[in-house]
Structure 1
């Protein structure tokens, strides 16, 4: 994640209230899908507040986990209460602070679409993973499966047509199965596979859903924060009318991510499989 370009992603607490609360359930399903052995070295690229690293540390008995993120605020949040097996550093996905072929698994959670050059970041991941090692990632399905944001941008464009310019459902074409598969294949990775991951996103009431949009962190909250107060109120009421509230006021939506994995070709390498 380029902190200069996407400077709204800087504060761990605000992110956790907005989208971070769903990060652990998605990471758990992703790690289970990878099915990796214990005792491996994991590199978490764009680690954010550390959800994927924590899940790996707790579920996979790793030899080591290193999380890398350009946001000092996120790295500080990740370090707070981090498992003993995990450490976190500030760094760039396009220039990873890691030696060639030094890691068994290179993973990335919910960040690939925010990178200015996903292909360059993927090339870096291939560089640092060992022959036969795994490179994997997951991203929200903004176009169809991320129900909260799909509903938000639909009403936002209806209220203010200028929202179409920053609509995540249109901005991130890489967040679909075929573009992800093609990106991994173009990087020279073998055994490429793509799978959906779905989680429930339940809000206690409408305020639980709406208030995180006011923090200004992330594309949708940044749009809300930058809107005229009248537009903001119209958007709030339009979204309230659009989401399906249950009798107790809670709102149950779903979120889908797409996961992709591939293995660095092991030409001339005869080590053990890691999955």
Structure 2
């Protein structure tokens, strides 16, 4: 499910880049810091750090070699290194980084507390550990609307709805994850970005790329059910007179100090 960087970019990467840019600006970290991007994917957050934070170093880790190949192409900078690694076993010594960030990934890690503990371990004393996740239950409209339609066509899809499958993507459990990892001064904030699609095909076609839970589920369906979901979405998505589809996406941000 997490192998094709190009397919992911069309589906979610364009929005995760916009979110990452806003996130790094708000973080307002001092320059010349050592950064780690846990679950760096195709490099959206790494690129935002380079553009806005003037780091001395950025290390990116991700378990997908396919995503890292895309990241290396998109972020060719001598300050950056990309390594295949699991968030639950980070290949770095204790207290290695001044700022450790993770964007849109912790809910997919099989053991989020283990990943949070590793993030805390490699963050230098006084350093910042900051992560963000889509609000899959409500505020991430492009996904919520898809799953709502899918569940109406296929009742079994209700159990796969990301808002139900990933309870970590809510403020209270997200904050507890950071507190239980031993981080202090934990805060939860939110970021909302516009996700405007040029037309219905711009919204729908990326769901056919198999990258992410929704597209992976859609690929298992017979053509007739896929068509019914598509047409139900076409009839329900808000559409401007020019054909654009104006949606928004909210993310929760957890921040703590080591």
CA distance in 2, matches of 1:260, 1:33: 13
Q: 2:107 and 2:33 mapped to 1: Cα distance? A: 27
Pairing partner for 1:134 from 125, 128, 131: 128
Question: Structure 1 stretches of 5 or more lacking a match?
Answer: 1-7, 265-275
Is the CA contact (8 Å cut-off) linking 2:28 and 2:53 kept in structure 1?
A: no
Q: Distance in 2 between matches of 1:14 and 1:25?
A: 17
Compute the TM-score of the two structures, normalised by the length of structure 1: 0.92
In structure 2, the gaps of 5 or more residues are none
Q: Indicate whether 1:124 and 2:118 are aligned.
A: yes
Q: Contact between 1:54 and 1:86, CA under 8 Å: does it hold in 2?
A: no
**TM-score normalised over the length of structure 2:** 0.98
* 2-structure distance, mates of 1:157, 1:88: 38
Counterpart residue number, 2:98: 104
Corresponding residue to 1:44 among 37, 47, 57: 37
SS in structure 1 at match of 2:74 = coil
SS at match of 1:92: coil
d(CA) in 2 for partners of 1:248, 1:29:
27
Q: 1:13 aligns with which of 6, 13, 20?
A: 6
1:198-237 mapped onto 2 (5 Å cutoff)? 198-237=192-231
Cα separation, 2, equivalents of 1:91 and 1:19:
22
* 1:141-177, Cα deviation, whole Å (9 max, x unpaired): 0001001111111111000001112110111111111
Q: Which runs of 4+ in 1 moved over 3 A?
A: none
User: Which runs of structure 2 are paired with 1:1-275 in the superposition (5 Å)?
Assistant: 8-82=1-75, 83-264=77-258
> What is the number of residues matched between the two proteins?
257
